[in-house]
């Protein structure tokens, strides 16, 4: 019984600390927030992790802003290079990112 109590307390404490896993980057003026534990990816205030096409692994995070007949607009964050790439049907822009 005592062990179960410790386990329950440990889970409550650990689950309440997922915000500590958030990484916040400034990518040439665009704020990028991601959390591997919660599978969160926010670019410029837009939560791309809740949209269709979201992808996250150990090195790359990918999310779509929109997709239509003309193409799609997406953001790709490289955890290795600390870069954010914006792609839309007309252009591709790359920004260097620094952790806040």
Q: Average pLDDT, stretch 10-37?
A: 79
pTM for the model stands at: 0.79
Domain residues for the domain of 56 are 21-99
Task: pLDDT band for 11, please (50, 70, 90 cuts).
Answer: very low
Count of domains forming the chain: 1
pLDDT, averaged across the chain: 87
pLDDT at 34: 97
Q: Which residues are CB-contacts of 80 (< 8 A; sequence separation ≥ 6)?
A: 59
Identify whether 7 is part of a domain. Answer: no
What is the rounded distance in angstroms from the CA atom of residue 12 to the CA atom of residue 39? 19
Per the domain annotation, does 12 fall within a domain? no
pLDDT (tens digit per residue) in 64-87: 999 999 999 999 999 999 999 999
CA-CA distance, 8 to 14, in Å (whole number)? 10
**The two three-digit tokens of residue 51, written as one number:** 């949209």
Mean pLDDT confidence for 33-54: 96
Residue 37 falls inside a structural domain: yes
Token pair of 20 as six digits: 């500590």
User: How would residue 62 be classed by pLDDT, with cut points 50, 70 and 90?
Assistant: very high
């Amino acid at each position: 019984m005592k062990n179960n109590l410790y386990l329950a307390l440990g889970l409550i404490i650990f689950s309440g600390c997922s915000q500590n896993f958030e990484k916040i980057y400034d990518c040439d003026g665009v704020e990028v927030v991601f959390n591997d534990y919660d599978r969160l990816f926010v670019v410029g205030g837009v939560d791309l992790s809740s949209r269709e096409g979201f992808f996250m692994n150990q090195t790359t995070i990918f999310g779509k802003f929109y997709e239509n007949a003309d193409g799609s607009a997406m953001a790709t964050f490289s955890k290795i290079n600390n870069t954010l790439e914006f792609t839309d049907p007309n252009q591709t822009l790359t920004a260097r990112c620094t952790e806040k």
